[in-house]
Amino acid sequence: MSRNRERVIETVENVFSQSEKIAPEDMMFSYKGVLYPAVLSSPETLEALKSFETRSDDVILAGYPKTGTNWLGEIMRELESTDAKYTEEEMKERINAEKKLETFSRLEFGDPGIYERMKKLPSRRIIVTHLPPPLLPPSILQSKAKILVLVRNPKDTAVSYYHFYNSMPVLPSFSSWDEYFAAFMNGKVTWGSYIHHLVEWNKYIDDERIMMISYEELKEDQILGMKRIAAFFRFNLCEEDFIRIAQMTTFQAMKEKSKETHGKFGDILFRKGVVGNWRDLFSKAQNEEMDQKFEDCLGGTKLAAKMKYDMYCKA
């Protein structure tokens, strides 16, 4: 087991228990023009985040919400721990350190003191964040640490986030898809505009410390995707390891175990896990609006080619 399940469930229970106490207008706060969920972070935490000290062997995973960060996070934990060959005792110590230090599964979650406590976590730390480059602590982009960037086609990401917003009791619900779609396109959702995230990450596409992978690519051939990731981080795994990790991280396998791994959050998180679900909700006009925005902001870029927009997003 490479994941601190108790800590995840404790966080989920804590977050859900606050939902009855918090009014919809207090569910989000704005920091430097971007919205964040109030039960998970605060302006003070985002201010303190600047002091985060990156280690050169940190394994960093960055992805906008709903791009599949929980899936790839689990894959990363399995790849890392298989390469490290932690003994059962070492694994227990790593899990206990996270529990004792009360760290979170996302870099920008928690109280402002978390970055001091994270200094005491054993290496290699796996750091997951939803933040785009301009909002990351400076040490991440200045250090030698490698960053894996996860992207997903913007239409499925939008649909996934819509359902998430309306299922999460600690986020304000939208009264309709149309109302939500306007907010998504204008970046008026937590973590801001997805297109803006993509534009910012595209600036790093040739950086050798950064690797981009797409949700769709992992769905097409997870083993190939994991081999590329392992080569990038110089993890040494054998064919059987890749097969085992692929089997334990299928959507079905993770969904079936989700009560154990994510408590109540599991039913919300593991929704459909497919490519192309946007076709159920996007109107013709919304399709055109997204296609135009993508073309205006990312048309002709290497990231657009990597994301295969025409294949996954054109009606």
Which positions touch ligand A3P (CB under 6 A)? 63, 65-71, 156, 160, 163, 249-251, 254, 269-273, 277
Distance from C-alpha of 115 to C-alpha of 48, rounded to nearest angstrom: 7
Q: Two tokens at 142?
A: 């200045």
Does the active-site annotation cover 130? yes
Q: Which residues contact 126 (CB under 8 A, 6 or more apart)?
A: 58, 59, 61, 73, 76, 77, 80
Q: How far is the CB of 185 from ligand A3P (least distance, A)?
A: 18
Nearer to ligand A3P, 53 or 267 (CB): 267
Residue 156: how many other CB atoms lie within 10 Å: 23
Q: Between residues 68 and 137, which has the closer beta carbon with respect to ligand A3P?
A: 68
Please report how close the Cβ of residue 217 comes to ligand A3P at its closest, in angstroms.
12
Q: State the nearest-atom distance from the C-beta of 92 to ligand A3P, in Å.
A: 25
Closer to ligand A3P by CB, 64 or 143: give it. 64
**What minimum distance in Å lies between the beta carbon of 53 and ligand A3P?**
26
3-state helix/strand/coil string of 165-206: HHHCCCCCCCCCHHHHHHHHHCCCCECCCHHHHHHHHHCCCC
Q: Do residues 80 and 65 touch, judged by C-beta distance below 8 A?
A: no
**Residues 245, 83: contact at Cβ < 8 Å?**
no
